[in-house]
Structure 1
Amino acid sequence: MPTLFTFVSRLLGGDVHHAEDIVQETLLRCWLKYGTADRDMLRPWLFTVARNLVMDAHRRNRNRPTEIEIDQKSLADLAETGSDDVVLTSMTVKVAVRSLSPTHREVIYRTYFLQKTDEEVALDLDIPKGTVKSRRFYGLRALRLVLEEHNLGPSMSLASEGVGAKV
């Protein structure tokens, strides 16, 4: 029905894809519910259903919380507004990661913070996959030693402090 599609498209400000969805839903509801009722009332009924679907979609989108994208600086600011223990742990982990050699730190960063696979890290750094595994192993071992010195070793779960679960 081109007339129904034009009507819905205007209600949606020209959003053709959303209008197609609304018209499809309207026709589906007509097929399922209207049945063999009075054919003279079919057109007004279709337009009313389509209008109601548009209003429902608008209300649903209006009540949904606004999605925002958080950059790394904002994330760091949010981390520092937590409780003292969390902030202290976060700072200790940062110091521990900085104490690693640049090669170990780079592999751990790409693997746990960027969540890349061994193959992706190897391609990024132009090194063999086995070297990636070795650097990750020795980097994590050094990281554990530093964290144990600050009483954040195996007894404390870093995952609960916001650090990757694999560390």
Structure 2
Amino acid sequence: MSEGTDLIRLLHEQHGAVLWAVALRTTADPGRAQDAVQETLLRAWRHPDALDESRGDPRPWLLRTLRNVLIDEWRSRSVRPEVLSEDVGEAGEPSVADHADAAVQAWVVGAALARLTPEHRAVLAECYYRGRTVAEAAAVLGVPPGTVKSRTHYALRALRLVLEEMGVGS
């Protein structure tokens, strides 16, 4: 058995369950999740320097790589959509619902939001996710309405920059 095979087996034993859970939650498709985990482990095998013990725990690198694999797969599918079945619904759309794109998008937006300040996250959560008005958000957050307006403006600007840094921006 080769050293590379041992490395892949060890990585799978130590991190496979976490990678699988994230991929399955993101894609909602066991086949695509398995493909993403396999591609992640293949990339790890190609870059053993990233897994050097002196650099610490390899799990963050593996999760970041998995995220990149899923985003690449999502982008590829958005350019060349798959035909899921011959059955079509009333509007000519495939009858099989595929929520993977929405899951990846939610995951990417969640990762971007995590990079914002707590104040910016809070104002976006109140105004966009909970659908509150400026006055309602101000009351919940305990700040003046003008502060909610300016934080929302700067939060959206910061979110746009983070998404562009992540390669998702327009």
TM-score band, normalised by shorter chain? 0.3 to 0.5
Question: TM-score normalised to the size of structure 1?
Answer: 0.42
Question: TM-score normalised to the size of structure 2?
Answer: 0.41
Q: Which has the larger radius of gyration?
A: 1
